[in-house]
Amino acid sequence: MDTTLATVDTLPGFFGLSESAAKRIRTMLSGEPDGSFFRVAVNGGGCSGFQYEFSIDTARQDDDRVFVSHDVEVVIDEMSLELVDKAELDYVQDLMGSYFSVSNPNATASCGCGTSFSV
């Protein structure tokens, strides 16, 4: 299986992480089996048409691309990458709770919950 290691320098677009998101992902992965990684995917659905999915995974696919930021790997499949190209994942802690938030320049609208968007 050929998984391409992508960085800001090697792709026209990229997927970035804030330091806060990287720290949270490292914490999440610390309790997972060796070889586990953080996956970002975009699925149809949600109140705005597409929704983000975040998961811990152990199996890479042929169309996966790997992004490294703050020494953390994030894996995104090619189809999802088209919808989150040049986006950045942040981890927010505020009075409403703690959650991952995506700043996505491709989204033309998003819903109030922040996990759903349209392009």
C-alpha to C-alpha distances, 70 to 20, 30, 37, nearest whole angstrom: 10, 16, 14
Q: According to the model, what pLDDT value does residue 9 have?
A: 38
One-character DSSP codes across 29-96: HHTSPTT-EEEEEEEE-STTSEEEEEEEES---TTEEEEEETTEEEEEEHHHHHHHTTEEEEEEEETT
Beta bridge partners of 73: 68
What's this model's pTM, rounded to 2 decimal places?
Answer: 0.79
Give the pLDDT confidence of 38-56 residue by residue, as tens digits. 999 988 876 667 888 999 9
Which domains, and CATH codes, for the chain?
Answer: 4-107 (2.60.300.12)
Q: 74 pLDDT exceeds 50? A: yes
Q: Tell me the percentage of the chain whose pLDDT exceeds 90.
A: 39
Q: According to the model, what pLDDT value does residue 99 have?
A: 86
